């Protein structure tokens, strides 16, 4: 699911080129309103006319085909599925996030487009880059929670497990590779099939100790087809009695409300050691609104209702997006 996020520079650069630094298309802006509460990715009002966006989509389709023209990974349908990976590589080149592996997963002959030289000469001061602060913030929040989980379970006798919900082209399973941590990446089959190719190529090339298991699942099917994410994970080797962390990054607003509610309910039944969610929580009843109660208080009440403890929290856009650490 994460691969189709609109919060990447390549999805937004077109609208910025048409309208300048206004709040058009792409992710919610720090000076604009919150993301929509119902369905779809966060969007701001306005934007170019539909025919302009169609032209831009075609243009970016062509650009990505050129970027992957000489690539030998077999990845082809890249303009939509890999934008987030290119964005994270760019943010790393700009020094905004610590993700050097993102660039390693890009085609060797064209990754210079988001390399340090062009990042600082071409991209750094563009309106599109300025829209990416919330990706930087949520990346650092999740990494800090994962760091704490690893430190707190460092003396565990069994393997530890990290579940990445809607993993897309996230690199955490490679950045945090350790011999006793098993990562489970969950996403739609199309993304999983391509991500697994890139991951295995990287592991073979770098002799990484990463243990990654790929779990193909359309998350809406937990309700539309009554699938249990726990059973799907168990079929891939997941162990209920091992220390576990669940990470969900900017995924829930792509799912239908009933799927969000069942997905979260099933994940909470895992009784994982730690959860980290960075998302819009309106579909589970934590809606933005008046300043009283505060976004943290609303979130804390929801967490407590589910028998959990809120251990870290931040929010943006008046509580439209929550960064949540849960035990």
Q: What is the pLDDT of residue 66?
A: 67
Edge-to-edge order in the sheet of strand 274-279: 211-216, 181-187, 160-165, 244-249, 274-279, 321-326, 310-316
Q: What is the pLDDT of residue 293?
A: 93
**Pairing, β 321-326 against β 274-279:** antiparallel
Q: At what angle do helices 83-93 and 9-19 cross, to 10 degrees?
A: 80
CA dihedral defined by 12, 118, 172, 267, rounded to 10 degrees? -10
Q: 264-289, pLDDT tens digit by residue?
A: 999 999 989 999 999 999 999 999 98
Nearby residues of 220 by Cβ (< 8 Å), 6 or more positions away: 255, 256, 259
217 touches 232 (CB < 8 A): yes
Sequential DSSP letters for 243-286: -EEEEEES-GGGS-HHHHHHHHHHHHTT--SEEEEEE--GGGT-
Q: At what angle do helices 50-67 and 9-19 cross, to 10 degrees?
A: 130
According to DSSP, residue 35 is labeled P
**Domains and their CATH numbers in the chain:** 2-132 (no CATH), 134-326 (3.40.50.150)
Tokens 């001061």: give the residue: 125
Burial of 142 from C-beta contacts in 10 A (0-12 / 13-18 / 19+):
buried
Sequential DSSP letters for 82-138: SHHHHHHHHHHHTTSS--HHHHHTS-TTTGGGGSHHHIIIIITTSHHHHTTHHHHHH
Q: What is the pLDDT of residue 26?
A: 34
Residues in the chain: 327
Q: 243-260, pLDDT tens digit by residue?
A: 999 999 999 989 999 999
Q: What is the pLDDT of residue 68?
A: 65
* Residue ranges in the chain modelled with pLDDT below 50: 2-6, 11-48, 52-53, 77-79
């Amino acid at each position: 699911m994460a691969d189709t996020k609109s919060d990447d520079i390549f999805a937004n650069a077109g609208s910025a080129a048409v309208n300048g630094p206004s709040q058009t298309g792409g992710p919610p802006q720090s000076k604009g309103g919150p993301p929509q509460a119902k369905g779809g990715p966060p969007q701001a009002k306005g934007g170019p006319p539909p025919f302009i966006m169609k032209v831009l989509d075609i243009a970016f389709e062509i650009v990505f085909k050129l970027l992957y023209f000489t690539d030998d990974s077999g990845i082809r349908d890249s303009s939509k599925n890999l934008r987030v990976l290119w964005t994270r590589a760019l943010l790393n080149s700009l020094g905004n996030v610590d993700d050097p592996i993102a660039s390693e997963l890009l085609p060797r002959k064209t990754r210079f487009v988001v390399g340090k030289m062009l990042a600082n000469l071409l991209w750094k001061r563009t309106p599109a880059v300025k829209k990416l602060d919330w990706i930087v913030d949520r990346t650092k929040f999740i990494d800090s929670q994962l760091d704490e989980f690893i430190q707190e379970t460092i003396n565990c006798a069994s393997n530890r497990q990290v579940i990445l919900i809607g993993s897309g082209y996230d690199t955490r399973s490679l950045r945090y590779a350790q011999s006793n941590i098993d990562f489970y990446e969950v996403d739609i089959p199309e993304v999983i099939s391509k991500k697994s190719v890139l991951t295995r190529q990287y592991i073979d090339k770098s002799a990484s100790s990463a243990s990654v298991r790929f779990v193909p699942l359309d998350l809406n099917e937990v309700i539309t087809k009554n699938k249990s994410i726990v059973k799907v994970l168990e079929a891939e080797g997941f162990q209920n009695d091992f220390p576990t962390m669940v990470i969900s990054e900017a995924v829930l607003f792509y799912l239908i409300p009933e799927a969000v509610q069942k997905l979260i309910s099933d994940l909470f039944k895992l009784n994982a050691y730690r959860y980290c969610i960075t998302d819009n929580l309106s579909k589970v009843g934590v809606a933005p609104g008046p300043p009283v109660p505060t976004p943290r208080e609303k979130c804390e009440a929801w967490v407590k209702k589910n028998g959990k403890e809120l251990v870290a929290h931040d929010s943006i856009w008046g509580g439209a997006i929550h960064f949540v650490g849960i035990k």
